Structure 1
Amino acid sequence: MLPRPNLSFTLPSIHDNTKLDCRIYHPIRSNQSLTLSDPSWPRHAAVVAHPYAPLGGSYDDPIVLLVTSTLLHLGFVVATFNFRGASSSNGRTSWTSKPERADYMSVTGFLVYYLHYLSAPQNQLRPIETDENSASTLLLAGYSYGAMVTLQLPPLDSYLSHFASPATHTAFADIRLRAQHLAEEQVIMFTTPASPRKSLGMRVGGNEDISPKARDKQRAHSPDPEEKIRRGVRDILSRISPPLGFVTNLATMSFSNLWAKKKKGGPAKNHEDDRKREEGEAEAEAKFTANPTLAIYGDQDSFLSMKKMRDWATQLSGAEGSQFRYVEVSTAGHFWIEHGVAHELREAIYSFSAGLVKG
């Protein structure tokens, strides 16, 4: 049973400022929310991406919820989100997945800074110092279409660097400021037990489920939520500090769906596309083998070519020094509804993620 999210809010995509619906869940310990006094708070974080939006994919997908629940019990702070065109996120699903990669990177950037400011003393926001005993894990996960997007993400440092000193009035700056503002509000709520769980303009603790009509009525009697956020972050501008050293370990967990890419255009265009695709695949393979990575798929997944999937997994796992691992689940189809396969999926996720937490 997944608890209500601690935060429900929106972010602008770094691709084109499209508004994305997002959720943050704090870890679970003995069926209770982890508190700031816990020695393991906060060290580990994860982003989980959902299936194809035009076919009903959203952050409410059962497999997304299963992965999120498993990670919460291991002490991860988990972010889920709706890609553009999914549920109430703005925009439309693209044909290239390039905008969706930017959507994913937007949420990742937010999560890194959110955890930084959540763990830093409110009166002394400074870079987090890490050592071997306090290393943090950032796990990037996806299921179905979300896995395809995860596979295509560029190296983490190539886009997190844009959040370090963002130009004003950009999505990078907006995301970072929202992360700090929301983290500081959470610190206040955690350290002031008697304070009501107010969102200060952001939907907190499940208000995302209210009807559009009720939400419009609520907005009519309160200032615009976006303006409340902006007012709340104005006083933060003079005390921003980057989370240097926070991301010390990257893991990418990718579930089923390696969709084939169709060639379009004439010979010259095909040659250029092939070159770029080969470069991207080489970069991805380097990322997967250099960092702890897990691919989980079912042998009855009709969306996959089993031969290609097995060849791909065997090649990556067999490379010298590779940290890539894979699990093939017998009788499991694409939707993981066959008898007993969801349990095997959960166990594989738990084992892999527990290993990351233990170092």
Structure 2
Amino acid sequence: MLSKPSANFTLPSLYDDLELNGRLYFPRSQCEHEEDRPRGCAVFAHPYAPLGGCYDDPVVNSVGSLLVGNGFIVVTFNFRGAENSAGRTSWSSKAELGDYVSIYALVLAIMNASGVAKYLARSDHHEIDQSPILLLGGYSYGSMIAAHLPDIRVVLSILQRAEDGSAEYEIKTRAHELAQAFLGYCETQQQRGQRSLKALPTETLQPSGATFGGYESPSAAHRISREGSRRSLNRERARHSVERVRRKLGSRGNGHETGTSASAEAVEAPQVTPKLAFLLISPLVGAISSFATMFSTLRFERRDPKSAAARDTPVSDTDAMLSSNSSLVVFGTDDHFTSSRKVKGWCESLRAKPGSSTEYREVHGAGHFWHDPELEAQMIESVSRWVKGM
């Protein structure tokens, strides 16, 4: 299971500014040796909130723990209406897609933050492409949303067009804060050395689980609070936690910014374009997927049609995205939400596309919720083999 998060954070949804909460986990690596450096970043989304889905879901924790153990910086988050995120679940899933794109943009901004790219850069050994990986995935409802994410170029353009006071600007600001915590963490790992790393439990290697929140723009703070957040986050306390982490991890002579306010300008114009990968556990296909979207086309959009993110956003070709990037689908033969026959047929159609990189694993006897420990272990082993072979 996942250990204590390296950091907690809040940020506004690109769909309508509702405040979401998330967690970030740093991999246990020394960062200075190339073979130990992070392989990239991963986002993994939870099941349907009205049925109890949130980032504490056992499957989310199991998959997240595996990814952290394999060198990924992992982000989990709550869709609107789940646990402490604001709002309520939508009928069409378009708002939740906007929530996921917000996290997608956050991670891309972290990967492009000053100083972070060098820790994600790996040399080209034996003619193997070692570009950093951005793994996007989810379980159940979360996998359905992940399968409809827009192309990476769309999200990079959103970051480039961020205007002062916008949700995009606030997301870039949060990315800068979290990037500073990561850089301080890497430096601390290097100073301790390999011997001390092996001797210390994982929990002592994490920062402090501080919350990164609050908004740079007063107009953004007013707009986001107006959207009806159910939480009453103490903004001043959140800012103090940012400063505490910076003093502890980011000011040991490494030259990183330690001022009182992070700026979105400190996140460089997007230059790192990672390799995308998709991980879908117990995906929803067929009738239940149509019901979850109220039989409408699921595409990323903003509630405000005048926003920059709403302009020129094409409908994603789900099948093309999954088949053209490394993708793994894992499902059980006894899934009562989606027929395994339909899921397998969908996977076979993806595999049949020219140049397809789609793989799938069918776990005999497994249901949708992976309650049987032995069957869940088979699912995790399938994911592990795929991740190790990427």
TM-score bracket relative to the smaller structure: 0.7 to 0.9
* Aligned equivalent of 1:188: 184
Distance 1:240 1:9, change over 3 A: closer
Alignment of 1:67-216 (within 5 A): 67-117=63-113, 119-120=115-116, 134-191=130-187, 197=207, 202=212
Query: What is the root-mean-square deviation of aligned Cα atoms in Å?
Result: 3.6
- 1:336 corresponds, among 370, 380, 389, to 370
Give ranges in structure 2 of 5+ residues lacking alignment: 193-204, 214-230, 244-257, 300-313
1:36 equivalenced with 2:31 (yes/no) = yes
Report which stretch shifted further, 297-306 or 233-242.
Answer: 233-242
What displacement does 1:23 show?
Answer: 0.5
The superposition leaves residues 130-172 of structure 1 with CA deviations (integer Å, 9 ceiling, x where unpaired) of 8655411111111011011112212222123211241111111
Report which stretch shifted further, 291-300 or 179-188.
Answer: 179-188
Give ranges in structure 1 of 5+ residues lacking alignment: 28-32, 204-214
The superposition leaves residues 182-227 of structure 1 with CA deviations (integer Å, 9 ceiling, x where unpaired) of 2113323543569994677539xxxxxxxxxxx98x95xx934269
1-structure distance, mates of 2:48, 2:107: 22
Distance 1:179 1:330, change over 3 A: same
The superposition leaves residues 81-101 of structure 1 with CA deviations (integer Å, 9 ceiling, x where unpaired) of 000000011110001111111
Q: Secondary structure at the match of 1:261?
A: helix
Distance 1:264 1:288, change over 3 A: closer
Contact residue 298 and residue 334 of structure 1 kept, 8 A: yes
Alignment of 1:306-325 (within 5 A): 306-325=340-359
Distance 1:130 1:307, change over 3 A: same
The number of equivalent residue pairs is: 324
Q: Secondary structure at the match of 2:2?
A: coil
Contact residue 252 and residue 294 of structure 1 kept, 8 A: yes
1-structure distance, mates of 2:361, 2:209: 41
1:51 equivalenced with 2:77 (yes/no) = no
* Aligned equivalent of 1:244: 271
* Aligned equivalent of 1:210: none
Distance 1:174 1:339, change over 3 A: closer
TM-score, with length taken from structure 2: 0.73
2-structure distance, mates of 1:200, 1:143: 27
* Aligned equivalent of 2:216: none
1:290 equivalenced with 2:324 (yes/no) = yes
What displacement does 1:68 show?
Answer: 0.5
Distance 1:42 1:337, change over 3 A: same
Q: Secondary structure at the match of 1:24?
A: strand
Contact residue 178 and residue 229 of structure 1 kept, 8 A: no
2-structure distance, mates of 1:225, 1:198: 13
1-structure distance, mates of 2:367, 2:153: 35
Amino acid at match of 1:242: A
What displacement does 1:2 show?
Answer: 2.1
- 2:387 corresponds, among 340, 353, 356, to 353
